[in-house]
């Protein structure tokens, strides 16, 4: 279950219905895109490095180009060409 302190990151979702395992990709993407440092530390305590890097490197990530560039550099993940063509929103 997500802590109530993360509720603002999931403004469009009832966090009581989110399952940390079942909705892993959604949770990781949302925190990487909108979270602050404390959110990121929480994320690192809940998910493995490999799980986070897999979300960053997936073909159809919801991360915007700026976030994707930052996290792929930090995690040393190679991103596919489909990511590079995404425009800033």
| pLDDT, one tens digit for every residue, the chain (89 residues) | 888 889 899 999 999 999 999 999 999 999 999 999 999 999 999 999 999 999 999 877 888 889 999 999 999 988 765 544 444 43
- Domain hosting residue 74, numbered range: 4-84
Query: What does the alpha-carbon distance between residue 4 and residue 44 come to, in Å, rounded to a whole number?
Result: 17
**Beta carbons of 39 and 73 less than 8 angstroms apart:** no
Q: How many helices (H) and strands (E) does the chain have?
A: 5, 0
In a domain, 11, yes or no: yes
Instruction: For 48, list phi and psi in degrees, rounded to 5.
Output: -70, 155
On whether residue 89 sits in a domain, the answer given is no
Q: Structurally, how many domains does the chain consist of?
A: 1
Per-residue pLDDT at 89: 39
pLDDT for 82: 53
- Residue 43 within a domain: yes
Contact call for residues 11 and 34 (beta carbons, < 8 A): no
Q: What confidence score (pLDDT) does residue 88 get?
A: 41
């Amino acid at each position: 279950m997500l802590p109530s302190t993360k509720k603002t990151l999931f403004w469009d979702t009832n966090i009581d219905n989110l399952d940390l395992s079942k909705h892993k990709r959604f949770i990781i993407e949302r925190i990487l895109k909108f979270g602050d440092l404390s959110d990121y530390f929480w994320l690192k305590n809940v998910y493995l490095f490999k799980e986070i890097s897999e979300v960053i490197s997936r073909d159809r990530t919801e991360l915007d180009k700026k976030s994707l560039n930052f996290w792929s550099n930090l995690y040393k993940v190679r991103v596919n060409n489909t990511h590079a063509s995404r425009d800033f929103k």
